[in-house]
Structure 1
Amino acid sequence: MKYYSLNHNAPNVSFQEAVINGLAPDRGLYFPENIAPLPETFFENIETLSNEAIAFEAIKQFVGDEIPEKELKQIISETLCFDFPAVKVEEDLYSLELFHGPTMAFKDVGARFMARCLAYFNRNNPDLHNTVLVATSGDTGGAVASGFLGVKGVDVVILYPSGKVSDVQERQLTTLGQNITALEVDGVFDDCQDMVKRAFLDEDLKSQNLTSANSINIARWLPQMFYIFFAYKQLKRENKPLIISCPSGNFGNICAGIMAKRLGLPIARFVASTNANDTVPRFLENGAYDPKPSKATISNAMDVGNPSNFIRIQELYHNDLTEFEKDFSSYAFTDDETKAAMKRIYQNSKYVAEPHGAVGYLGLKKEMKLNPGSVGVFLETAHPIKFPETVEPLLGITLEIPAQIKSVLGKEKKSIQINSYDELKDFLNH
């Protein structure tokens, strides 16, 4: 499998090169040259397969022969060491819980998969040393920190916007030490992401072997396909058209979902549910892609004004609005609507949704009204304990603290404050 740059001005590369480079030299995101659908028999028998077997079939063509089958299966086994239950919330409406991993956020899967791929590549080259540079709007930082903790030959540098991630999220990325360093940026997520992209293209930093663990990296992004396969596996018995609603910030999850559909997974529609950062809903209305500066909301991990992965979605739909409309919708919701949804879900079913999941629920409800007779799934991307300052007073409850979170609450936060790209560059070169 070869990967090409979506800016179409860089050499095609192997899976290993795409993982290690993160971003193409022309600043483009990598995209696979071919997407070969899986055989129909795979989908006919999917409910009889383990999650690990499903994931292997989904990902193997994108890795090719660069990681031997035995090692790839081991990587998948270590990645998928927790559950992904579809929990019934209402009639024909389910929450797919993606937060049962070590940092209680969906990004555990991509981070663990990528860390193990990079470790495999480094195993054959003991002199190779990589610096993983990542921007986070919430959960990416903690998941990457956990996934790469102690990986030989890899240092991790995480940029996060000061005061714009929750206390739990901040502790998960600032308390681990070892090969993990957190840089606290005076700005918003888009500032962090811009610094990361600029660093990749800086000739002065070539010797650092920089790579990204954001969803711009194919090894972080592609495993997110697994969730949609797992949802279908659990709900195939319903025998109804399946709608998937993804709370969307950088658009990695929904883009991976569309990839799953290209592999043959029978998903009827995808919904990109956003908060006030409504770049994509506006694009679907008027055909103009017009990013705006990000706005702060209670669903902070989705506070992205210029979502990186949307260019991959445009590629999948040939940037044709009529193709988008066949199976893709996008709606934006306010914080007030999000809070009302959290209350309604809890009152009706005692299910505790956090703000991101609630946005996904709202988009799903809207789409299901337009498509009666369907069954719907919204992705619950993080455990509510990540957002106690919103969830507890709103629902009048006290959340039990899971073991994964207890382990970081007592630790001391350690971060380095930076205000500019030059300060980031100085840090990387020191």
Structure 2
Amino acid sequence: MKYVSTRTPGKTFSFSNVLMGAYAPDGGLFVPAKVPHLTAQELSRLEWLPFHELACHVIGPFLGDWMPRDQLARIVEETFCGFKSRAVAPLYQTATNEWVLELFHGPAGVYQDFGLQLMSRLVDYALSKEGTEALIVGCTGGDTGAAAIKAFNGMRGVTVIVLHPSRGMTQAHRRRLLSTGQANVINIEVDGDYADCHRLCERFLKGGHRTSKPLISFNSVNWVRVLAHLSFFFYSALQLGAPKREVAFSVPTGNFGALYAGYVAREMGLPIRQLIVATNANAGLHDFLQSNLYCSSEIRATQTPCMNVSVASNFERLQWSVLNGCGTKVARNMELLEEDGRIQLEQNEWLQARKLFDSLAVNDAQAFNSIHEVFVQSGYRVSATTAIGLRAARVSRRSLLIPMICLATTHPSISGAGLQCLSDDRCISIPNDIGALVQVIESLSIDTESRLL
């Protein structure tokens, strides 16, 4: 399996390049040069497999010959055996032809556990094979950072650097980030909101800063995060009748990673009729699908800070797909977005996205009304992010005859209660300045003994 950048056609990369990094050398994102396709007969053979075996079949082709298949099977089984549900991602019916797909049974109680638990084991395998060490760097509004810490804490050869914003995070999310006592996890608070934090992290990872170790992103710019999501799309669809029956998904989203995985699953042959993009009040993706205008904007504070995203990272991958892999156009669009804060696609290109995707923006009040509505109707409790997906499904679904699968991305009981927040001296505060971040990370690279390296 070869990979290419979304911005430069022609040059190919190995899976190792993709796993052990972040952005492509030209600043784009890695995507598979060719998506493998499964026939209806091949899909039918996966129908009754346990989750980890199905995941291995779906994920394996994207690794090529980088790892022996029996070794991958062991790693995938180990990844999911730590989830609290034996089904890994069980379905719960909440209404007629409507199901919630519970993705919160991993160690951190969030859907990001799927990608990060797999990534940590693949990185550990690579570091052991190559005898090297790594810096794992990323930014978070709360959930992704908590999952990254659970995945990498205490791992030898790895330092985890978690950037989070000083504004827009709830105290519960902050307590979750600062409750780890592991020496190889460094929390850095950036003066600003999530958009500031994301831009700073992106500048660092793209900046060519010299470190003695590989720089790996734990955010969904890393393809492995997207790749792992394929497993639950295939598993849930097959449980509800695919490939003989079409299905639809509603996905609460910030950076579009899980939604892009759904798009790839459809390209692989899964009969997905509809994907619903469910956003909170930070509705850039919804606005694009409604008007073909994609803008960066000031982030609004909400009760779902993990979805507070201005510019979704994986929107670039979607562009590459609907533009038929034209890296030149993607590069031009991303340059315009950086310079002007807005872009439009050609009408026929935008319509390609609209064929599959619908969308809805849901504010806090609507989300909490949805929590109440679902509980009254079915006695089932959902989180605010899951409620956003459920409301979007009920408003935007195209057919009541097609099973609607709503992704439950966070456990309804997650809060900071019961977590002891360590003292703030375990958290480094920096201004929104690339020089300050570089200085901190360079000092961490030198001080390796105390970081389990």
**TM-score for both structures, normalised by structure 1:** 0.91
Letter in 2 for 1:146: K
Given the alignment of the two structures, is residue 135 of structure 1 paired with residue 139 of structure 2, yes or no?
yes
Shift of residue 386, structure 1, vs aligned partner: 2.3
Which residue does 2:429 correspond to in 1? 417
8 Å CA contact 1:238–1:375 kept in 2: the answer is no
3-state SS, counterpart of residue 38 of structure 1: coil
What is the distance in 1 between the residues matched to 2:360 and 2:70?
42
What is the distance in 1 between the residues matched to 2:440 and 2:354?
45
Superposition map of 1:131-210 within 5 A:
131-176=135-180, 177-210=182-215
Shift of residue 167, structure 1, vs aligned partner: 3.8
- Cα deviation code 1:333-365 (max 9, x no counterpart): 122211211111111112111111011001111
Superposition map of 1:4-403 within 5 A:
4-8=4-8, 11-81=11-81, 82=83, 83-126=88-131, 128-176=132-180, 177-236=182-241, 241-318=246-323, 320-368=349-397, 370-387=398-415
What is the distance in 1 between the residues matched to 2:201 and 2:148?
15
What is the distance in 1 between the residues matched to 2:102 and 2:170?
20
Shift of residue 268, structure 1, vs aligned partner: 1.2
Which shows bigger deviation, 282-291 or 247-256? 282-291
3-state SS, counterpart of residue 31 of structure 2: strand
What is the distance in 1 between the residues matched to 2:314 and 2:254?
9
Shift of residue 113, structure 1, vs aligned partner: 0.8
- Cα deviation code 1:297-341 (max 9, x no counterpart): 112111001000011122222361222222211111122211211
Shift of residue 238, structure 1, vs aligned partner: 11
Q: Which structure's relative contact order is higher, taking Cα pairs within 8 Å and 6+ residues apart?
A: 2
Which shows bigger deviation, 357-366 or 225-234? 225-234
What is the distance in 1 between the residues matched to 2:241 and 2:169?
37
What is the RMSD of the two structures over their aligned residues, measured on CA atoms? 1.9
Gap change, CA 1:204 and 1:410, over 3 Å in 2: closer
Shift of residue 381, structure 1, vs aligned partner: 0.4
What is the distance in 2 between the residues matched to 1:340 and 1:308?
29
Shift of residue 156, structure 1, vs aligned partner: 0.5
Gap change, CA 1:296 and 1:124, over 3 Å in 2: same
What is the distance in 2 between the residues matched to 1:168 and 1:109?
22
Which runs of 5 or more residues in structure 2 are unaligned?
324-344, 444-453
Name segments (4+ residues, structure 1) moved above 6 Å: none
Shift of residue 265, structure 1, vs aligned partner: 0.9
Gap change, CA 1:205 and 1:10, over 3 Å in 2: farther
8 Å CA contact 2:248–2:404 kept in 1: the answer is yes
What is the distance in 1 between the residues matched to 2:24 and 2:129?
23
Which shows bigger deviation, 93-102 or 418-427? 418-427
Which residue does 2:340 correspond to in 1? none
Shift of residue 202, structure 1, vs aligned partner: 2.5
8 Å CA contact 1:354–1:387 kept in 2: the answer is no
Which residue does 1:428 correspond to in 2? 441
Gap change, CA 1:121 and 1:193, over 3 Å in 2: same
Q: Give identity over the alignment, percent.
A: 30
Gap change, CA 1:344 and 1:203, over 3 Å in 2: same
Which runs of 5 or more residues in structure 1 are unaligned?
389-400
Letter in 1 for 2:429: Q
- Cα deviation code 1:10-64 (max 9, x no counterpart): 9421110111121112211111101020232232233311111211111111111
3-state SS, counterpart of residue 158 of structure 1: strand
8 Å CA contact 1:225–1:257 kept in 2: the answer is yes
**TM-score for both structures, normalised by structure 2:** 0.86
What is the distance in 1 between the residues matched to 2:206 and 2:371?
42
What is the distance in 1 between the residues matched to 2:412 and 2:170?
11
Gap change, CA 1:175 and 1:372, over 3 Å in 2: closer
8 Å CA contact 1:243–1:267 kept in 2: the answer is yes
Gap change, CA 1:193 and 1:358, over 3 Å in 2: same
Shift of residue 240, structure 1, vs aligned partner: 5.0
3-state SS, counterpart of residue 133 of structure 1: strand
What is the distance in 1 between the residues matched to 2:49 and 2:320?
31
8 Å CA contact 1:174–1:181 kept in 2: the answer is no
8 Å CA contact 2:234–2:265 kept in 1: the answer is yes
Letter in 2 for 1:103: A
What is the distance in 2 between the residues matched to 1:209 and 1:325?
38
3-state SS, counterpart of residue 187 of structure 2: strand
8 Å CA contact 1:98–1:105 kept in 2: the answer is yes
8 Å CA contact 1:59–1:223 kept in 2: the answer is yes
State the aligned residue count.
Answer: 410
What is the distance in 2 between the residues matched to 1:241 and 1:3?
29
What is the distance in 1 between the residues matched to 2:177 and 2:436?
20
3-state SS, counterpart of residue 23 of structure 2: coil
3-state SS, counterpart of residue 22 of structure 1: coil
3-state SS, counterpart of residue 80 of structure 1: helix
Letter in 2 for 1:39: T
Shift of residue 137, structure 1, vs aligned partner: 1.3
